[in-house]
Amino acid sequence: MIVGAGIFLMLLPLAAAPVVFHLLMRQKRRERVYSTPMFFHQIDPKMRARKRLQEILLLISRVLLIALGLLALSRLSINTVRDVLGFGERQMVVLVVDNSGSMNTKMADGKNTKLQTAKKSAQQLLSALDDDAKAAVLTLVDDPQLEISSDMKGDKTRLAEAIGSIAPTEATGKPATALQQAVSILMAASSTGAGSVHVFSDLQSTEWGQGGIDRVIDSEHVRIVFHRLPSVPVQANVSLVSAGLSNRRVLPKQPNTVFVELRNDAEDPVQVRLNSQDDQRKQTTNVVTVPGKGRVTAKVTIQPESKGSHWVRIWIEGDGYADDNQAVLAYVCGSTAKFFLVGADVSEFGRLPLALSPFGDGRFTSLVPEVVGSDSVRERTQQAQPALAAMNWTEAARISEGTSGQWLEQYVNAGGNLLILPPSRQAMDAVRLPSWIGAEVSALVDPVEQVRCTVLSESSDFWDNLRLPGGSVRLVGAFCRKYHPVLLPEDARTVPLLGTGRQEVLLGILERGKGRIVCSGMAFSSKWTLLTNMPEFVPMAQSMALASGSPEADDRLSLIAGEAPASLPGSADDIRVVSLVGDPMDWSGRRDRFPQFVRSGGYVMRVGEKTYGLSVQGAVDEGSGEFVAGRSVPLMGEIEHSIVSMEDSDELKQSLVASHTGIELYLPLLLLAMMAMMAEGVLGTPRQFKLTQSATQKGEVAS
Amino acid sequence: MSPKQEHQTTYKFLPNQLAERLRKLGVAVKKQMDGGMTGLHKSPTFGSSVEFAEYRSYVPGDPTGRIDWAVYARTDRYMIRQFHDEVSVNSHVILDVSESMRYQQDGPMTKMDYACFLAAGFMYMMIQQGDTASLMTFDREICERHEPAGSLSGLRPMLRALEEIGPTEPGDIEQSLHDAAEIVPGRALVVIISDLLQEPTEVLRGIGHLLHDGKDVTVFHVLDHGEIHLPMKGVFDIKFLEKAPKMMVDIAQVRDAYLDRVHRYLDQLRAGCTNQGADYFLFDTKTDVRDALLKRSVKQ
């Protein structure tokens, strides 16, 4: 409305003037005597009713003429956009910006991300509010690095700065929580809670596609408006579902494997590049093909050079959506680990000690041998947590039959590596292994000619360090001179590794609990097998020692961005978190105030005296290409809300301009006034009765 | 003469001023009239007046004084000159006293009063020039009939009768004229004074009857000025003098149609009268009575 136009609205009662004049000055029908009816004959008998109707229509047209003219001059406008945007008289607005991972993708124009557009739109809406309006800003993902006060404020500048500081996350938003908080803010700001909540989001189905929020929002005065940011269809998205270290003990200079699980949501197979980079600037790249609608587990090898905290960042390239392509793995590497040679005579183990620790001090392998008597092995094991306990069958039987007979079983089940092998100097015709092991060995076989050792389970990770680029295991020229065939139970947790080619197993693994038992039918001396003379024996020995039982496995914690940990390790109340890679962080606090991580990264978490590696991975669901379509959001259930589609930020800007100016009614009202004037002219002109041809012939006057 | 007597000798419809102005006017007729007395008007029979008619041969018995000796000298034949006989005229004023004549809208008087002035004036003019005049009134039929009078004393009862006329009945002009045609004897001057508010064809049939009987018919058509021009404005519930249902009329709406209708009606009457040989004069009540009578008079 233009300045001064309001005076015409005040003059609107003048529209009743024709009615007043009509009542005051209307022509009263007079009675008159006339000489003859012959000249008035046959005038329409319905004239009285028609005259009355004509008068009423004339009166209406005159009232409309004045009223419409005044309304046109008052420059009225319809503010439908204002209603759509939920702006009330006193503007109380909560702006909720979706900063979840899916908002990091580009808009259709390819210039800005959805989050950038949402922020710009929210700032525009903020600037379009009245001067006395109050607003608050919330995000769908509670980003601890974002300093936004959730109180209602009137300072638009600071609110705009707060919106500008919203950074992308890789977490899944919590819309129900955000909306409930928005309503609570409005309720706290006014007694009725009247106001509007504006949500700027792409309405991803994983967040908004499920109902149930109607139980937590109970204010009828809150108008909820969704500003939907359109999404470009995601094509051929491969998600990095998880990345985790194997159970192999993490030691300096010891290679380890990171298992990376990839998921393909597309129908067709997708080939992606799997990259890794660690804190030692080692980079790897592999090409991985993920079948359509399938999963695949790829491996990335790491090898920390020193003890302490390390990280490796793993990401994939070549798919349609980037924010679920990355994982950061933080881990703690110990200094050295001991392996126990149980028994009085070290020579019983042949070349095993040399293969595990060439110099006996941990150089090259980080493994240090320790000869432990069968009497003290239990105590030492609890103290030193060895990577491997190696003993011959006799020692194993003795320990199992002792007073602490179940200890060895418990050691294995808790994650310990146990190597049992025949005594190298003592030929045993019949050996009976402890029953809890589940394997048996037959009598010694001493063939005339040495027997070729063959790999039985090439796919076992035991052979990973011997695997050629094509996937086959490099073990050529390994022969066995004598052996005890090992009889392994046929179950999924038993893996035969070496055989004779005559359906006889020389070496096998039995998984028990978290640990492994490597059961060898041959001693590791050259009298038994030539394998120990081969360089391949070294990695085999490393695998025996480090395949499982990693105490560091419990020192690693993995989180999905935006999600709180189910439980925190340790018992100390004070926790400190320092970032290795990702968002810079050095947080100290109580256990119950543990921060939320919204972006992928690697952290070191110290709980009491113990250090843990904390890995945060982006939410995989954010890569979903399904978004809420239509005019309602399923999450809202029965709660009234509206959706305004927004192709770009300029579109909202135009709507906001329209919300202030409205739709001008000047021209339509002026046209209507002109139509009323024309009607008045037609009705006000006296209608003449004319003689028709037939009436003329009859000598009568017709209407 | 006492004032009362003076009052009694004053006539409403023939005041002295009007009589004075009409005294020198006379009325001529187009047709040969039958009359009992020698007068101003040509008789259908030959007489000895001064107006030459034709020659005829002398027959024994003819007065010798009427032989045209000049013709005899030229032709050697006795020829008798014949002259028209001049007679007085019997005039009959047929006055409409139907209810519609009471109407007065825009004129100074009712049509009835105006018609009475005309009747009185005309009869006075006739008597003044030595003719006779009689008065007949009609509405649905002939109501009142006065014997012809040739003197002012004979005119008096008719003037008084005019003063007592009070229209109460609707009229039937055609029927009344048919009746009058039967009543009026011989060749006479018939003056119809009426508003003629009836269908023209019907009126003309009545006039035609009179003309057919040899009457010299003059029509004084009297209408109110308002009836001709409809100067009213507004919406009226109109009640008619003669029996007719009430009617609501917006004058602005019907004016053109009304005037058109009136003009057609007047044209039809004027043409009808002229074609049949009657004299037609239309007067609205604003017209001065003397001026109106002057149109039918000749100066003596």
Query: How large is the average pLDDT for residues B162-191?
Result: 89
For residue B239, list chain A residues with Cβ-Cβ distance below 8 A.
31-34
State the distance between the two ends of chain A, measured CA to CA, in whole angstroms: 50
Task: With CB atoms and an 8 Å threshold, state whether B240 touches A699.
Answer: no
pLDDT > 60? residue B41:
no
As a whole number of angstroms, the distance between CA A701 and CA A36 comes to 14
pLDDT > 50? residue B46:
no
As a whole number of angstroms, the distance between CA A12 and CA A68 comes to 9
pLDDT > 90? residue B175:
yes
Give the lowest-confidence range in A224-228, B6-10, B285-289. Answer: B6-10
Residue A572 amino acid letter:
A
Interface test with A, best of B225, B241, B250, B256 (most A CBs within 10 A): B250
Higher confidence at residue A40 or residue B191?
Answer: B191
Query: How large is the average pLDDT for residues A582-593?
Result: 86
Find, among B113, B239, B169, the residue nearest to A35 by Cα.
B239
- Residue A46's pLDDT band, with cuts at 50, 70 and 90, is low
- Contact status, residue A84 vs residue A226, Cβ threshold 8 Å: no
The pair phi, psi for residue A223, each rounded to 5°, is -100, 120
Instruction: Output the pLDDT for position A462.
Output: 87
As a whole number of angstroms, the distance between CA A613 and CA A555 comes to 6
- Contact status, residue A529 vs residue A507, Cβ threshold 8 Å: no
Across A386-430, the runs of DSSP E, i.e. the strands, are: 388-392, 417-421
For residue A40, list chain B residues with Cβ-Cβ distance below 8 A.
238, 247, 249, 254, 258
Query: How large is the average pLDDT for residues B17-35?
Result: 73
A685 touches chain B (CB under 8 A): no
Q: What is the largest CA-CA distance in chain A?
A: 159
The H or E element containing residue B26 is strand B25-27
> Which tokens belong to B58?
């002398």
Instruction: Output the pLDDT for position B299.
Output: 44
Q: CATH 3.40.50.880 region(s) of chain A? A: 388-548
Alpha helix stretches (DSSP H) within A6-46? 6-10, 17-25
Domain boundaries, chain B: 42-87, 90-299
Query: How large is the average pLDDT for residues B114-140?
Result: 91
Task: With CB atoms and an 8 Å threshold, state whether B235 touches A51.
Answer: yes
Domain A80-233+625-661 - what CATH class? alpha beta
Question: Which residues pair with residue B93 across a beta bridge?
Answer: B135, B191
Q: Give me chain B's average pLDDT, please.
A: 82
As a whole number of angstroms, the distance between CA A524 and CA A504 comes to 18
- Contact status, residue A166 vs residue A178, Cβ threshold 8 Å: no
Tell me, what's the ipTM? 0.75
Closest approach of A679 to chain B, Cα-based (Å): 18
pLDDT in tens, A20-42: 888 887 666 678 888 888 887 55
Please provide the CATH number assigned to the domain covering B90-299. 3.40.50.410
Query: How large is the average pLDDT for residues B70-85?
Result: 77
- Contact status, residue A56 vs residue A161, Cβ threshold 8 Å: no
Q: CA geometry: angle at A456 spanning A455 and A461, to 5°?
A: 85
Residues in chain B whose beta carbon is closer than 8 A to a beta carbon of chain A?
100, 103, 105, 111, 195, 197-199, 224, 227, 232, 234-242, 244-245, 247-250, 252-258, 260-262, 264-265
Closest approach of A657 to chain B, Cα-based (Å): 55
Closest approach of A701 to chain B, Cα-based (Å): 7
As a whole number of angstroms, the distance between CA A192 and CA A468 comes to 72
- Residue A691's pLDDT band, with cuts at 50, 70 and 90, is very low
Query: How large is the average pLDDT for residues A180-209?
Result: 84
Q: What is the 3-state secondary structure (H, E, C) of A514-547?
A: CEEEEEECCCCCCCCECHHHCCCHHHHHHHHHHC
Give the lowest-confidence range in A192-196, A261-265, A503-507, B184-188. Answer: A192-196
Please provide the CATH number assigned to the domain covering A388-548. 3.40.50.880
Find, among A209, A197, A230, the residue nearest to A122 by Cα.
A197
pTM equals 0.56
pLDDT > 70? residue A382:
yes
- Residue B298's pLDDT band, with cuts at 50, 70 and 90, is low
- Residue A295's pLDDT band, with cuts at 50, 70 and 90, is very high
Helix, strand, or coil (residue B1): coil
Q: What is the largest CA-CA distance in chain B?
A: 85
- Residue A129's pLDDT band, with cuts at 50, 70 and 90, is confident
As a whole number of angstroms, the distance between CA A501 and CA A452 comes to 7
pLDDT > 90? residue B195:
yes
pLDDT > 70? residue B3:
no
> Which tokens belong to B131?
């003719």
Find, among A263, A287, A290, the residue nearest to A275 by Cα.
A287
Query: Distances in Å between the alpha carbon of A88 and those of A194, A222, A465, A659?
Result: 8, 10, 70, 11
- Contact status, residue A342 vs residue A389, Cβ threshold 8 Å: yes
Question: Which residues pair with residue A153 across a beta bridge?
Answer: A135
A590 touches chain B (CB under 8 A): no
For residue B245, list chain A residues with Cβ-Cβ distance below 8 A.
37
The Cβ-side half-sphere exposure at A273, using a 13 Å CA radius, reads 7
Indicate the residue of A33, A36, A689 with minimum beta-carbon distance to B197.
A36
Instruction: Output the pLDDT for position A503.
Output: 86
pLDDT > 80? residue B201:
yes
pLDDT in tens, B260-297: 889 999 999 999 999 999 999 999 999 998 889 888 87
Higher confidence at residue B24 or residue A134?
Answer: A134
Could you tell me how far CA B19 lies from the centroid of its own chain?
Answer: 17
Task: With CB atoms and an 8 Å threshold, state whether B265 touches A39.
Answer: yes
The H or E element containing residue A340 is strand A337-342
Could you tell me how far CA A510 lies from the centroid of its own chain?
Answer: 38
pLDDT > 70? residue A553:
no
Closest approach of B245 to chain A, Cα-based (Å): 9
Instruction: Output the pLDDT for position A687.
Output: 62
Instruction: Output the pLDDT for position A237.
Output: 81
pLDDT > 80? residue A684:
no
- Contact status, residue A264 vs residue A290, Cβ threshold 8 Å: yes
Find, among A412, A394, A414, the residue nearest to A402 by Cα.
A394
